[in-house]
Amino acid sequence: MDIAITAMPTVCSAPPICCPPRQEFRSPLQGTDRAGPGAGFLMPDAESLWALRVFCCPPGRQVDHTGRHMKEETHMQVDRRKIIIIGAGHVGSHAGYALISQGLADEIVYIDVDRKKAEAQAMDLFDSTVYLPRRAIVRAGDYSDARDAQLLIMAAGPLADMSKGETRMDTLGVTVAILKPILEQIRTSGFSGIILSISNPADVVAHYIQNQLDWPPQKVFSTSTTLDSARLRRALAQATGVDQKSICAYALGEHGESQMVPWSAVTIAGKPLSQLRRERPDTYGKLDLDAIAADGRAGGWTILGGKGSTEFGIGASIAEVVRAVFGDENRVLPVSTLLNGPYGQKDVYASVPAILNRDGVAEVIQLDLTPEEQAQFDASCRVMDENYRLALAM
């Protein structure tokens, strides 16, 4: 935890999370005589704050000449960032690696019907931590481990069989059958944290879990088109030559065939793509937007067909969402969340840009869709709603 020690103050100079009432003092380290909130210390990054939620001092606690708390008064309570991953397959293992290699978890516990596989994945990942920047514990466990976990990642479920032309939605029946006993065990485990659902069909499964567990909707959501949006940005980068990190573009609706791209909201360096197309008819104007959207949408199938699984992209997407949550970042990512009002929808999970923080989905961002885009989004939501009703009847 990155708290600078000031030379002079005689009262605690730790961050606001530690000492809400502000103290006035000089900060030689920052070379400033600012006073008031935030003055005189280096803010620890939000990630570390979550990792080490320190409740240490009543207002005005005395510190010694080095700025440290007087020893007899020091007491700390530390919350570890513990994550349960259900399903130790391709997604679960890559999510685990993305999380520990980016220092986003202190402990990861794998649960899988195949206990040997869970143990093997955990051991393999734990070995890797020896050479990773931050330490973490990775192990196999059971549902009793969920009681004090902050986050649970649902990654159990079958893959669509491409040889039979199956879509993600076609796996719904098998996924629901797998989920039923899992949800029963989560219900009785004492877990009360955030559920990040990955199993496909992602949006319908997230809604099903929320309903069956009667979980607060903001605390159960899916990465859903976080991954499709990455694929879309990759496709746009390849078509324009502009780096994907400089492109803001979302795939919305379903993590599946009915997803849509609100082109009216795509920007490059803050400039609307529609404007760029008017200004530069010979370059941006020639982009085949339908082909780019199809390229992004088909990304999962291209990867699945080539190697039998998709894993790195979803692993990175999961880590990105978890960073936003554990870091309390108020970061906007497209995730599948319960819509009741926004986008004119009612009681349906669909992917939209949302603000994520330690409470989960804090707020949905309502984009100004064109009438045509709204119709595409509505159609995608209808697909998810119909399948959700089917899931409830299973």
Residues forming contacts to ligand NAD in the complex (CB under 6 A) are: 86-92, 111-114, 117, 155-159, 168, 175, 178, 182, 198-200, 202, 223, 227, 255, 309-310, 314
Q: Shortest Cβ contact with ligand NAD: which residue? A: 89
- Dihedral (Cα; 339, 388, 261, 258), 10-degree rounding: -160
Question: What is the three-class DSSP state of 138?
Answer: strand
Compute CA distances 349 → 324, 337, 341, 345, whole Å. 20, 5, 12, 9
Does residue 255 have an active-site annotation? Answer: yes
- The Cα–Cα gap between 303 and 313 comes to 10
Least distance to ligand NAD, CB of residue 46, Å: 25
- Between 59 and 181, name the residue whose CB sits nearer to ligand NAD: 181
Least distance to ligand NAD, CB of residue 315, Å: 9
DSSP state of 4: P
Least distance to ligand NAD, CB of residue 383, Å: 16
Q: Where are the alpha helices (DSSP H) in 188-331?
A: 202-213, 225-240, 273-279, 289-307, 312-326
- Between 206 and 249, name the residue whose CB sits nearer to ligand NAD: 206
- Between 200 and 240, name the residue whose CB sits nearer to ligand NAD: 200
- Between 54 and 91, name the residue whose CB sits nearer to ligand NAD: 91
Least distance to ligand NAD, CB of residue 9, Å: 49
- Between 62 and 302, name the residue whose CB sits nearer to ligand NAD: 302
Q: What is the DSSP annotation of 87-124?
A: --SHHHHHHHHHHHHTT--SEEEEE-SSHHHHHHHHHH
Least distance to ligand NAD, CB of residue 304, Å: 8
Least distance to ligand NAD, CB of residue 132, Å: 22
* CB distance 336 to 255 below 8 Å: yes
Q: Where are the alpha helices (DSSP H) in the chain?
A: 46-51, 90-101, 115-128, 172-187, 202-213, 225-240, 273-279, 289-307, 312-326, 371-393
334, two tokens? 């497209």
Single out the catalytic residue among 69, 90, 207, 255.
255
- The Cα–Cα gap between 380 and 338 comes to 14
Chain length of the chain: 394
- Between 39 and 156, name the residue whose CB sits nearer to ligand NAD: 156
Sign of CA dihedral 268, 270, 276, 277: positive
381, two tokens? 């939501």
- Between 182 and 348, name the residue whose CB sits nearer to ligand NAD: 182
- The Cα–Cα gap between 156 and 144 comes to 18
Least distance to ligand NAD, CB of residue 160, Å: 6
Provide CB contacts within 8 A for 300, sequence distance 6+. 227, 228, 231, 310
Active-site residue set: 255
